């Protein structure tokens, strides 16, 4: 029996979806699977994957493409499927599901599988998005299998498109814990975007250097990190409002230069790592809230593990979330996490055990949760350590790849 030819088909993506696909490209057993990638131009570094992927085809795919462009993409995809004699087309997200399913039907090749990473948009959905969701509901019924990244997403999709839950399999996103460990070094982390090196803050028990006096003081720096694509569903505006509320508490403490380390004054520094279309709007909100001096917008980073390691807590204030890769990464590094009680997040964060959950769109609750960790560092560390153990048991990339390979093999066996 020869290798099974898998076409990984993905649109423009950052964050969790991109990391998920990278893990698949790296992790699939090359003795069993022959991996081909179809993606937008520049989406993946060809040099990194040249020995892990047999062919990379760059085709134009994106949410904002016009119908003519989508038709051209469909024709290109059909050509790839026929040329490579693809066995399984693995689509990522709604748009790729539509194109991949039609391409499979029209080419007469390939069994289609779709991984759904996020909840279909519901807020003020435009006509084009409504049409996309409708078409996806039609196409997905022709898929041999649907993969959901959380149980909550599985139930939602089953109800939305009236699909039997038996056809939907939950395969949790996994993170490469070995890569995370090996990427960290003991040396101090610095960033061109920040005025000073990032130092561990109050939750790590170390004091921030007073650079003006070149000495240690009772001033403690708290690094609060939000890793998000800057779009509405990620709720970064909620994080900004909560940050402003926390700063009001900081100001009310009334720092005096002579304060002792037994009664420290904490100085929050809020970091937002990620890019997206709402960045100008979010910067305007930060200016209106008067928190610019305590806030840094950082672009998408490849050294994100080092940034997490130098932070005191990681906050994910999403309005909708399939699972939450940044929460998994933070817990793998034993960092306390606070997240919205939405989507698949409660399948990672057990409130009061592996982190804190807050209602979505509630800046006051989020601010209280951040303050709770600051005032209870021992509890925060215990939750983070429990979370780390849970991630290593349940959310590793090895476990994800193993489950995915078994699914692919079962599909191919059934339809051989």
Kindly give the residue spans of alpha helices, DSSP state H, lying in 85-187: 94-107, 127-139, 151-161, 177-183
Q: Is 144 helix (H, G, I), strand (E, B) or coil?
A: coil
* Per-residue confidence (pLDDT) for residue 122, from 0 to 100: 57
End-to-end Cα spacing for the chain: 11
Check if the beta carbon of residue 297 is closer than 8 Å to that of residue 347: no
CATH code that applies to domain 4-174+396-414: 3.40.50.2000
pTM comes to: 0.84
Q: Which mean pLDDT values do the consecutive 10-residue runs of the chain (416 residues) have? A: 88 79 91 92 78 86 68 91 95 92 92 91 63 87 94 94 94 89 59 49 47 48 92 95 92 50 68 93 96 90 86 95 92 96 95 97 96 93 96 94 95 66
The number of residues in the chain equals 416
Q: Where in the chain is the domain with CATH 3.40.50.2000?
A: 4-174+396-414, 178-394
Q: Is 180 helix (H, G, I), strand (E, B) or coil?
A: helix
Check if the beta carbon of residue 116 is closer than 8 Å to that of residue 169: no
For residue 265, what is the DSSP state?
Answer: E
* Per-residue confidence (pLDDT) for residue 255, from 0 to 100: 42
Q: Is the dihedral of CA 139, 141, 142, 144 positive or negative?
A: positive
CATH H superfamily, domain 178-394: Glycogen Phosphorylase B; (3.40.50.2000)
* Per-residue confidence (pLDDT) for residue 261, from 0 to 100: 45
Who contacts 139 (Cβ-Cβ below 8 Å, separation ≥6)? 97, 98, 101, 102
Report which secondary-structure segment, H or E, holds 383. Answer: helix 377-394
* Per-residue confidence (pLDDT) for residue 383, from 0 to 100: 96
């Amino acid at each position: 029996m020869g290798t099974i030819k898998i076409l990984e088909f993905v649109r423009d993506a950052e964050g969790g979806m991109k990391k998920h696909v990278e893990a698949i490209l790296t992790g699939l057993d090359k003795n069993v699977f022959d991996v081909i990638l179809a993606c937008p131009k520049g989406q993946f570094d060809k040099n990194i994957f040249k020995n892990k992927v047999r062919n990379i085809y760059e085709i134009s795919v994106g949410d904002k493409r016009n119908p003519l462009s989508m038709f051209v993409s469909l024709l290109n995809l059909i050509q790839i499927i026929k040329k490579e004699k693809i066995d399984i087309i693995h689509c990522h997200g709604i748009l790729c599901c539509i194109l991949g399913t039609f391409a499979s039907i029209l080419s007469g090749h390939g069994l289609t599988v779709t991984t759904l990473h996020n909840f279909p948009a519901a807020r003020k959905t435009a006509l084009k998005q409504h049409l996309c969701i409708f078409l996806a509901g039609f196409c997905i019924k022709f898929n041999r299998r649907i993969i959901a990244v959380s149980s909550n997403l599985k139930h939602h999709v089953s109800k939305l498109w009236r699909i039997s839950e038996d056809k939907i399999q939950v395969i949790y996103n996994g993170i490469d814990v070995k890569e995370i460990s090996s990427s960290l070094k003991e040396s101090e982390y610095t960033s061109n975007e920040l005025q000073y090196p990032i130092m561990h803050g109050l939750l790590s028990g170390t004091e921030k250097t007073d650079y003006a006096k070149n000495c240690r003081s009772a001033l403690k720096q708290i690094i609060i990190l939000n890793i998000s694509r800057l779009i509405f569903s990620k709720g970064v505006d909620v994080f900004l409002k909560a940050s402003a509320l926390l700063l009001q508490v900081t100001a009310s403490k009334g720092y005096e230069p002579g304060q002792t380390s037994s009664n420290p004054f904490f100085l929050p520094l809020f970091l937002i790592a990620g890019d997206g279309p709402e960045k100008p709007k979010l910067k305007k909100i930060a200016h209106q809230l008067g928190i610019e001096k305590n806030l840094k917008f950082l672009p998408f980073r490849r050294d994100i593990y080092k940034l997490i390691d130098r932070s005191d807590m990681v906050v994910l204030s999403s309005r909708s979330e399939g699972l939450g890769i940044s929460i998994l990464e933070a817990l793998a590094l034993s960092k306390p996490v606070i997240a919205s009680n939405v989507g698949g997040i409660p399948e990672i964060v057990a409130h009061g055990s592996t982190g804190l959950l807050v209602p979505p769109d509630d800046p006051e609750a989020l601010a209280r949760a951040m303050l709770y960790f600051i005032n209870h560092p021992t509890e925060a560390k215990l939750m983070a350590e429990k979370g780390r153990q849970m991630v290593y048991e349940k959310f590793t990339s090895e476990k994800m790849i193993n489950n995915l390979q078994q699914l692919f093999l079962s599909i191919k066996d059934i339809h051989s």
